[in-house]
Every structure is written in C-alpha cells, then in structure tokens.
Amino acid sequence: MEAIARLPDDFNPADEFPITRSWTFLNHAAVAPISRSAHQAVVEFADQAMHDAYLTGKWYTKIEEVRESAAALIGAKKSEIAFAKNTSEGIAFVAAGLEWQKGDEIVSTSVGYPSMVYPWMDVAQRFGVKHVELNESQGRFTAQQVLDALTPRTRMVALSHVEFASGFRHDLAQIGRHCRDRGILFCVDAIQSIGVVPVNVVEMNIDFLSADGHKWLLAPEGAAIFYCREELTSLLRPEMGWMNVINANDFGKRDFTLKPDARRFECGSHNVPGVLALGASIRLLQRISLPLVHQRVSTLTGYLRQRLAEKKYRVISSAQQGETSGIVAFESPHGPQAHASIVHELERQRIIIAERVGRLRASPHFYNNFADIDRLIDVLPS
C-alpha cells in the first residue's frame, strides 16, 4: 500500500469535518459536507445580519476578498471572476450570451452532466448550431478524439474537466492549446475538479469556466465561481439587472455602461452567506495546500481501485496518469441491478456513496483515510 501524505499537524479532521464522527462519507462528487470554517462563516454572517445595523458594505468588502482567493485558486485575475448561482448559471452565461451563427459547431461529450448538455441542445434548436457529442470508450476519451472532431466551423469546445459518471479527467492543457491556436472558444465545467485536481485557466487556455462550491470546495450549494477570460468579457452579453453597470449604486442614474470586468455578469445582490462560506472553504484548502489535497485523494482513489478489483468489482474509472480524479466509478459483480440495494445497505451502515447512470460512484476527499476505504470494501457484498 502506497503511504499517504501527512496532513498538517494542526489539522484535526474530526474537528473540521464533524461528519467523520458518525458517517463514512465518500460522496464528495454529489453534495459534500461543509467544512467547519464554512459553517463558521455562515453563522457569523447570520449573527451579524440578525443583530447589527446594515452591514452590506462590510460584507461586500469580504466578497471582494473571496473573489481574490477564487482567482488565485484557478490562476486567474480577480477581474476575471464573477459569482454565479451555480455551475449551470455560469454555463448559461456562455450559451445565452454568445451571438451564435447558423452552422456554428459545438463539440462536447455524450456523457456530460445535463447542465453541459441542455444548453447546447437549446442553442442547436434555436440557432441552427450543430452539436457534436463524443462517445466515451471504457470510461475514457482521448485528447486526439476531441481534436479530430474540430472543423473550420467549430466555434466552441465545451467539456466537464472531470466527467461526473466515470471520473475521467480530460487533458485540458492539450485540448485548450489546440483550441486557442485555432481560435475556438473553450468552455469548461470544473465543478468536479476545482478543489481536488489542479486547474489553471492560463496553462489550460480556458476561456470560460464555471464551478459551484458544494462538491470538492466543501462549501454550501448556490455560490459558484464563473471565470471569463479578460479579452472575451465583451463577447458575452450579460443578463441585465442593476449591478452590471459602473454606477450601480447611483440608483437615480440612467448610465447603461457595463462594468469593464467580469463583475458585469453579476446582475443583482449576491448570495452573501454562500460566497463568504465559499471563501472560508477555499482558505481552508489553501492552508492544507492543494497539491497535498490532490496527492492524498490520488492515493485514496488508487487504493480504492485496487481493493475493488481484489473484490471482483469492475472499476470503470481510468487509472492512467493524468486521467484520474476524486471519483471512482465501478460496477458490482452482480450487475447494475444490484446497485440501488447496495447503496441502500451502505447507507444503513452509515457509509455514503452514490449510484449514477448504472454505476456505483465513490468519491473520497483529503480528510478521508485508508480505514474509510476498508470499511466500504468490507461492507460491499462479495
């Protein structure tokens, strides 16, 4: 068994994630427990909102600090970050904000989460755009497969960095480089990657990225990061409210000048507690160190794949270098029809995994350990 990287001495998993005292939680690819840091941020906000005078100014200063941390997390500039409701809204900013031409082509995959499918189906239906969907083979894609699908009419490649049902991690650096060279837009759903595998929008030549905080970022649902590359800010038409414009706080003014940066995509008041909690969890992950988080999760998922194979479960997730993530998808030797009852029995024994499109899916985070994996293996039926 590969040794697991040590957590910092001052980090106590049971304190920061009290869920570990009563559950073996291996479902971060669904909705993760929030960290104690995120919890404290929400409680602090609620206390202030209940007791103190109007504090919007103070909260909005903190929101700008979160914008800074979110930018640092993905190698972006602060001015390239907007807060959105969720991953889907960020994707919708792109789908609804671009001026599509009949005959444009979008390349994506046929196994995407619905929020990476319906927006392109909609655009295809409304504007006569061609939606090309690539099929996975044994839970994998190759970068070459994506590049082979590009034509002179390809306007955009839209991928989930990590596919939700297989855990396959696309080679964004290679795909992004080709897209940039050919003037093709590159839109990435990063909800299954940010906080667990490295993401850098500059190195990966990403143009648009969206990710909510409730999975690998260990924050509540409903506060997402949307990134728009600076040079493309004016390419997307934002949905309009009152906050998009430069003189947003001059309420009697009619000056329809959009903010020059990504804040133009924020049309109204923020989900303040959500964003503050997101900031607290990002700070926690940065304190632990993202390379350490990635290293620990890679060790745990590697161990899980090995133990599953020993138990004659078919592992679907790729084990190849660069293709792994926090997700291990697998199939029972008794077939997919056994999955629902397995998930149910595991839950009865206080172990949480998920079933997704005919597969079992386990997704440990950095604070899990080998004993959690062993417990799952022990309870899975032979």
Q: Where along the sequence are the contacts to ligand PLP (CB under 6 A)? A: 86-88, 113, 115, 160, 164, 189, 191-192, 212, 224
Structure token pair of residue 284: 């926690």
**CB closer to ligand PLP, 278 vs 315:** 278
Please report how many Cα atoms fall inside a 13 Å half-sphere around the Cα of residue 358, on the Cβ side. 5
**CB closer to ligand PLP, 68 vs 221:** 221
CB of 176 to ligand PLP, least distance (A): 18
CB of 278 to ligand PLP, least distance (A): 12
Sheet holding 208-212, edge to edge: 81-84, 224-228, 208-212, 185-189, 154-160, 105-109, 130-134
**CB closer to ligand PLP, 157 vs 245:** 157
Contacts 24+ apart (CB under 8 A), 286-293: 286/69, 286/72, 286/73, 287/8, 288/7, 288/8, 288/11, 288/366, 290/73, 290/195, 290/198, 291/198, 292/5, 292/7, 292/366, 293/195, 293/196, 293/365, 293/366
CB of 216 to ligand PLP, least distance (A): 10
CB of 212 to ligand PLP, least distance (A): 3
Nearest Cα neighbor of 82 from 215, 299, 238, 295 is 238
Phi, psi (deg, nearest 5) at residue 310: -60, -30
CB of 19 to ligand PLP, least distance (A): 19
**CB closer to ligand PLP, 34 vs 224:** 224
The CA-based angle 93-169-185, given to 5 degrees, is 35
**CB closer to ligand PLP, 245 vs 262:** 262
CB of 181 to ligand PLP, least distance (A): 26
Structure token pair of residue 298: 């890679």
**CB closer to ligand PLP, 189 vs 372:** 189
